[in-house]
Structure 1
């Protein structure tokens, strides 16, 4: 059986961000250079579904730039066989050090490419077996054929995504795309009581809109909006009557976060401070302490106050940058996965099963 035509690893690298758009699970490890080179080695060795050829992660580390230019079937088959043989000899110009094979196996293959339907694992193989166990899913390999026109590639990618990315992943991708592509000068935000407000269009406003229209009715029993601000602390909405009803004095300075919600469902209302993060600024320890003082002045104990940092997507660089500074005892919420919360628990708590 002849091997598939081979695109260069850098051409594969250029296609991966299109195949796995923003919002794809573990996208970072699907589109980085290691993923491109891992996929290249699978193609080079003919490890594609149905061919009964498989690779091991250490073969990726053994590939070299020189070897990658030898693309005749005979050269590819010979290298595939030789690279499977145990050897302690050094490989001049090898792509990766020997000890990176575990990272290639776990971060890139298992938790990214397999999870997203791009790679399959050989069935019935013992965990300790030295045999090759990974291959490209056949339809995915078809996305990497060299020389495809832009129109043909786009059609193949669209069909593959609909078939192999699960419904949750596709929904998440759609939300992230919609947030990134929102146009116009303003957008309309609908409050829980049915009132509407106009916000200047932009990524932060997209997240704010999701907090009010999706987060609030999902996680609060009877939600209300006390304040809503835009970037630059421009106040879009301010409900002084509702604030007075619960005993909250709204400062005139910039001490309040982007959104202040209240849940009027419990016997003692729950005050929810929300920071919207598109580029920076989560609820950190200092911010949490300042907001607790405001809540305390209104008679809200710490048990009746919640702190949320809202992001567009869990896979974003923004979240990875901010999570290390988020306050213990606060929450992270993502517009792309609206039914879930990440809890940064403080103190000793028992771990419960899902």
Structure 2
């Protein structure tokens, strides 16, 4: 029987080095695609030849039984042998295993199903029952080709760009583009254009990039006649405050630890809408304590609470900042993501005003 040809031997370190280039910030579930477990999984797929178009498939067992001793054997015969031996009952690999048996679930559920399979970078056999223990996963051939050690420099970069264009959907590509523009803008300071066309330059950093997006994109997307009442940056430095407009709408702003990074106002209606926005690059969302403290400020000014909104702004849904802070987001507030500018995540408290699920669904019907 003729064996399926193996791809060029690629060290795991090279796989780990290229993954962040292939899956940049903005990629869905990016962490599942670039972390060490992902590098181990893709290395093993390449090692045993579990590539689209062949007859070899990877099972989680191939990954968690791998050892440095086996991974260091680059000849084809050793690679063919491991592909078969790892699936044999009672097989004990030479050396120290990379992972324990209980890593099976993270490999299968996170790295493969939620990561590589979800974005179309790998395939799963459809002819096996879900309960089957047989190996079922293969790496897409065009993705596998990006790990060829002889592919370097400009040619590698172009091949990666081509792969993204043809394999990542439009929304993911848009998220990547927005994130990359933000990273570039943060190097030399961030110039922000206000709704009245005035400009301010903020210090370089991820928080400033998100603040720029809030003022230039969020405000124009979700407000009709927006204006900026307040903008501060790291260290509580006040970049701008419009005292005249604040007085005109009856709001007295004092520098306070509870004040967010940005205060917007929508002047489209007779009664203005206040929007308190906290920018989160690492920490500090709109919590219930801060929401209540800000309500005291607006209550004192005579604002109807239905004309006050609270927003926590993030760079992207797939960030450590969101995962770290989402448990403390205030009910009744919103989360907004720079990389998906036309969407809002609502933290609604329906216990106070009961509503049927069907009524919520009806709101989303065009």
Which of these residues, 28, 31, 35, is aligned with residue 31 of structure 2?
A: 28
TM-score, length of structure 2 as denominator length? 0.88
Go from structure 1 to structure 2 and tell me whether the alpha carbon gap of 1:328 and 1:16 turns closer, same or farther (over 3 Å shift).
Answer: same
Distance 1:298 1:25 in 2: 43
Greater Cα offset, 207-216 or 115-124? 115-124
The count of residues paired between Structure 1 and Structure 2 equals 352
Which of these residues, 298, 302, 306, is aligned with residue 299 of structure 1?
A: 302
Distance 1:154 1:39 in 2: 19
Which of these residues, 133, 140, 161, is aligned with residue 164 of structure 2?
A: 161
Greater Cα offset, 319-328 or 16-25? 319-328
- Say which SS state the counterpart of residue 74 (structure 2) adopts: coil
Which residue of the partner structure matches residue 75 of structure 1? 78
Matches within 5 A, 1:326-341: 326-341=329-344
Q: CA offset at residue 286 of structure 1?
A: 2.2
Determine if the alignment matches structure 1 residue 107 to structure 2 residue 110: yes
Which of these residues, 206, 218, 229, is aligned with residue 226 of structure 1?
A: 229
CA contact (8 A) 2:85 2:91 kept: no
Greater Cα offset, 314-323 or 261-270? 261-270
CA contact (8 A) 1:186 1:198 kept: no
Go from structure 1 to structure 2 and tell me whether the alpha carbon gap of 1:61 and 1:252 turns closer, same or farther (over 3 Å shift).
Answer: closer
Post-superposition CA distance 1:142-201 (Å, at most 9, x none): 011123332332222122112212221121112111111216755443333x33121224
TM-score, length of structure 1 as denominator length? 0.91
Q: CA offset at residue 304 of structure 1?
A: 2.4
What value does the CA root-mean-square deviation take over the aligned residues? 2.3
- Say which SS state the counterpart of residue 199 (structure 1) adopts: strand
Distance 1:315 1:51 in 2: 33
Greater Cα offset, 255-264 or 234-243? 234-243
Distance 1:103 1:253 in 2: 44
- Say which SS state the counterpart of residue 232 (structure 1) adopts: helix
Which residue of the partner structure matches residue 133 of structure 2? 130
Which residue of the partner structure matches residue 196 of structure 1? 198
- Say which SS state the counterpart of residue 166 (structure 2) adopts: helix
Go from structure 1 to structure 2 and tell me whether the alpha carbon gap of 1:124 and 1:222 turns closer, same or farther (over 3 Å shift).
Answer: farther
CA contact (8 A) 2:191 2:202 kept: no
- Say which SS state the counterpart of residue 236 (structure 1) adopts: strand
Structure 1 stretches lacking a partner, 5+ long: none
Distance 2:177 2:322 in 1: 19
Post-superposition CA distance 1:281-322 (Å, at most 9, x none): 221222222111101111123332211111222222222232
Structure 2 stretches lacking a partner, 5+ long: none
Distance 1:156 1:252 in 2: 51
